[in-house]
């Protein structure tokens, strides 16, 4: 069953229903984290290369959820929360190189018990702000004592440089409450271009190193 069906089986919009839903999100993060670590270890064993630098995860706070629903114009309810807030459970996978991003996305998408709901490729189509990342909205089954609930998680996959830029952009816009002066936005877009050039240069350097090593072996 999906999360909306699960809520309808619970009794009302009370604290018990809230706690049950948040348990699903926390469980989904733990399940996904285990899967990602296994994929990373398998890749490292097979290719002697570690595509993941680090992984971050979080479950949105009640305050953040309410603000998002208000911003979207929806009534504050648990059903609206699970229906319209797709990033309550979020995981960020930070990779070494841009090629690793699509490699990780492919490995995640081929997991039999993960369903990919949607993909937003902000690498090929960056936001106007300069933001770049690869977003996947997925569901994975959470096995409770008497039912299985498909639970949503948003996955963001990006490079170290992209993560650095996005973190600073978030802090800057937070200070201006989302209304940063145009010259700040312009500088951020320019920095995003520099980040892209850095990622491209580092990828090219890594490929050259791999080719040199292969020549040494042969």
Active-site residue list: 154
Three-state DSSP state, 13 = coil
Taken as a whole, the chain contains a residue count of 218
Residue 9: which residues within 8 A CB-CB, separation 6 or more?
A: 1, 147
Strand pairing report for 89-95 and 115-121: unpaired
Provide the token pair at 45.
């064993």
Across-strand partners of 2? Answer: 150
Contact 4, 82 (CB under 8 A): yes
Provide the token pair at 140.
């994975």
Cα–Cα distance for residue pair 146/61, rounded to 1 Å: 27
Cα–Cα distances (Å) from 50 to 7, 97, 122, 150, 200, in that order, read 40, 11, 23, 30, 19
Three-state DSSP state, 162 = helix
Cα–Cα distance for residue pair 139/6, rounded to 1 Å: 14
């Amino acid at each position: 069953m999906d999360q909306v069906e699960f809520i309808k089986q619970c009794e009302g919009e009370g604290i018990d229903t809230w706690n049950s839903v948040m348990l699903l999100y926390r469980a989904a993060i733990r399940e996904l984290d285990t899967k990602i670590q296994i994929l990373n270890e398998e890749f490292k064993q097979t290719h002697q290369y570690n595509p993941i630098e680090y992984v971050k995860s979080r479950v949105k706070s009640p305050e953040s959820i309410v603000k998002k629903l208000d911003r979207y114009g929806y009534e504050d309810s648990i059903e609206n929360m699970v229906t319209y807030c797709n990033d309550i459970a979020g995981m960020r996978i930070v990779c070494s190189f841009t090629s690793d991003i699509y490699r990780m996305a492919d490995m995640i998408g081929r997991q039999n018990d993960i369903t990919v709901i949607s993909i937003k490729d902000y690498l090929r189509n960056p936001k106007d702000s300069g933001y770049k990342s690869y977003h996947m909205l997925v569901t994975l089954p959470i096995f409770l004592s008497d039912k299985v609930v498909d639970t949503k998680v948003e996955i963001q996959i990006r490079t170290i440089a992209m993560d650095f830029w996005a973190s600073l952009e978030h802090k800057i816009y937070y200070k201006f409450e989302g209304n940063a002066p145009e010259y700040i936005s312009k500088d951020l877009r320019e920095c995003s271009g520099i980040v892209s050039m850095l990622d491209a240069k580092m990828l090219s350097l890594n490929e050259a190193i791999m080719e040199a090593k292969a020549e040494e072996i042969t």
